[in-house]
Amino acid sequence: MSNTNNDEGQSALLLLPILAKEFRRRSVLLLGIFAAIATLALMLGVLLPKKYTSTTTILVEERNIIAPLMEGRAVATNVVDRASILREVAFSQKVMEEILKTGGWLEDNPSPLEKDKLIEKIIGRTKVSNPSANLIQVAYSDSDAERAYHVTKRFAELMIQESLSTKERESSDAYAFIDSQVKQYHTKLTTAESELERFRNGNPDARPGVDTDVNARIGELRRIVETGRMELIDLRSQESALRSQLSGESEVTQVQTRAGQIRARLGELQAQRDQLLLTYTEQHPDVVRVQHQLRDLEEDLRREQSQQQLARATGATSLDNPSTFNPLYAELRSKQAEAGRRSASTAARIATAEGMLAEELGRSGRIASSESALAELTRDYEVNRDLYQDLLKRRENARVSMNLDAEQRGLSFRIQEPAAMPLRPSGLRVMHVAIAGLVLALIIPLLLLFALVKLDPRVRSPLQIEREAGLPVLGSVPMYMSVSKRHQLMRRNAFATILFLSVPLVYGLTYTLKLMEVL
């Protein structure tokens, strides 16, 4: 390993004198290549078209004082990928026509194909980026600084104008769409109402809650029928009992005489007096009153007896026990008639209730048969009504959103950093190209010299013979130069020096002209 490293070191040391010798022999060619490359690079840098870049920044304001106040009533326009959306807006045909007019490209009346090529070039020199969440940056590069400024400024104005117009158009389209849906659902709702009303008019029982009323009515009528039947059974039992009682009574009965009636009354008053004397004395007013009545009745009884004796003495006939109608019999007949009347009334009431019950049962059947149709019509009506009311709210929200966008109070754009006139070109400048040219001018001749030494098979050193042939070298004879050869070498070296010095001279002159703004 050490022998190999030593051989490489010796080879490098042996190569340096050879490279120097070959450089002196070919100095004019190598320095000519150096001067040519450096000069060409400088000319390329000078002739390279200048690129001026103007930049403007647009601020996108999503939140403002209107947003929290109108939350839930207005939908603010949201921009998700602002850079891509604004790029589409910026490179639209309408905007590019304005840009061509602003940049003065339309003054030469280009053909449609030329206009398309110009638009492609402008798009290639325009960069729309999104450096942060709410910032849009537009950069345009051009060889004319003033045109770069005006085009960038116009780009920002048109992008904001078109974005706001797009927002307003979207809000208007959304409102128009929702309004058309509202009209359609209003027609559907009106149709559903008409069908539901027509069905209800054709089916009077097809109304909400009628089935509940009918079921309650059926239950009430059944209760009336059952109660009436029980009452009818009771009345007929009473009528039968009265009939049996009436059969045991006589229609005519005897009536007591007046003397008998007075005696009966006397007995009643005497019993009443005895009852009062158990509590009061004989001086009590009630007792005194009863005593007076007893005396009056006794007087009436003596008078009646005198009349009866007189009548018998004169031979006049008198019925002591006259015949009359039996009051119990009459009362039983009256009760029997009343029971018959009530029984007939109850039977009529039962028949009426049964008829009404049959009608209600038929009505319940009709309601059940029309219930599915009514449910379907009602469901369609309710669905259309709910959708219509929801669309009405959405239309008002869309109206507010449209007004916000029309007055530019929703999502808004404003120029955060306006475009400025570029004072210095951007990108590669003369200095950059010149430095790169100098580096290449130094590297390329050295690489050519190194390749010449490495690829040329001629023997250039005694050590090369010893190393490659393995033979000892006893001595070497140096080349002898004549006077003419020596003068020729001096002229060649002077020319090579002039070639080398011409590069910094040209570079210095170019730099001076740049400072003087001649170039």
d(C-alpha 96, C-alpha 79), whole Å:
22
For CA atoms 6, 10, 16, 19, the dihedral sign is negative
Find how far residue 436's CA is from the centre of its chain.
60
- From CA 104, how far away is CA 94, in angstroms rounded? 16
Residues 174-189 have a mean pLDDT of: 87
Looking at residue 197, its pLDDT comes to 80
Read off the pLDDT of residues 312-369 as tens digits, 9 standing for 90 and up. 777 554 444 444 555 666 676 777 777 777 878 888 888 888 888 888 787 777 766 6
Label residue 107 by pLDDT band (50, 70, 90). Answer: confident
pLDDT(25) > 60: yes
Q: How far apart are CA 294 and CA 380, in angstroms?
A: 95
Lowest-confidence region among 6-15, 19-28, 129-138, 366-375: 6-15
68 burial (CB, 10 Å; 0-12 / 13-18 / 19+) is exposed
Average the pLDDT over 468-480 and give the result: 65
DSSP-derived 3-state class of residue 347? helix
Q: What is the Cα–Cα distance from 435 to 428, expressed in whole angstroms?
A: 11
> Are the C-beta atoms of 74 and 401 separated by less than 8 Å?
yes
Give how far Cα 217 sits from Cα of 210, 351, 374, Å: 10, 16, 21
Mean pLDDT of 366-377: 72
pLDDT digits (tens, 9 = 90+) for 46-101: 766 677 788 888 887 655 433 443 444 444 444 445 556 677 777 788 888 888 88
Measured over the CA atoms of residue 107, residue 108, residue 111 and residue 116, the dihedral's sign is: negative
Q: How many residues comprise the chain?
A: 519
Domain boundaries, the chain: 25-48+428-515, 256-321
Global pTM exceeds 0.75: no
Confidence check: pLDDT of 304 > 50: yes
User: What are residue 126's phi and psi, to 5 degrees?
Assistant: -110, 135
Task: Report the distance separating Cα 438 and Cα 444, nearest Å.
Answer: 10
Encoded amino acid at 517, one letter? E
Task: Answer for the pair 42, 430: CB distance below 8 angstroms, yes or no.
Answer: yes
Tokens 């090579």 sit on residue: 496
Q: Map residue 153 onto helix, strand or coil.
A: helix
Structure tokens at 306: 């005198």
Helix H or strand E segment including 128: strand 126-132
pLDDT score for 451: 82
* 464 has a pLDDT exceeding 70: no
Query: Rounded to 5 degrees, what are φ and ψ at 444?
Result: -65, -45
Taking only the tens place, the pLDDT of each residue in 401-454 is 777 666 655 556 777 788 888 777 665 666 777 788 888 888 888 888 888 777
Residue 465: band (very low, low, confident or very high) from pLDDT cuts 50, 70, 90: low
Nearest partner of 273 among 296, 289, 261, judged by Cα: 289
The residue behind tokens 């007075």 is 262
Grouping H, G, I as helix, E, B as strand and the rest as coil, residue 157 is helix
Q: Is the CB of residue 330 less than 8 Å from the CB of residue 177?
A: no
CA distance 106 to 60: 32
Q: Are 76 and 64 in contact (CB under 8 A)?
A: no
Query: What is the DSSP track for 12-81?
Result: HHHHHHHHHHHHHHTHHHHHHHHHHHHHHHHHHHHHSPPBEEEEEEEEEE---SHHHHTTTT------SS
Q: Give 215 or 474, the one with higher predicted confidence.
A: 215
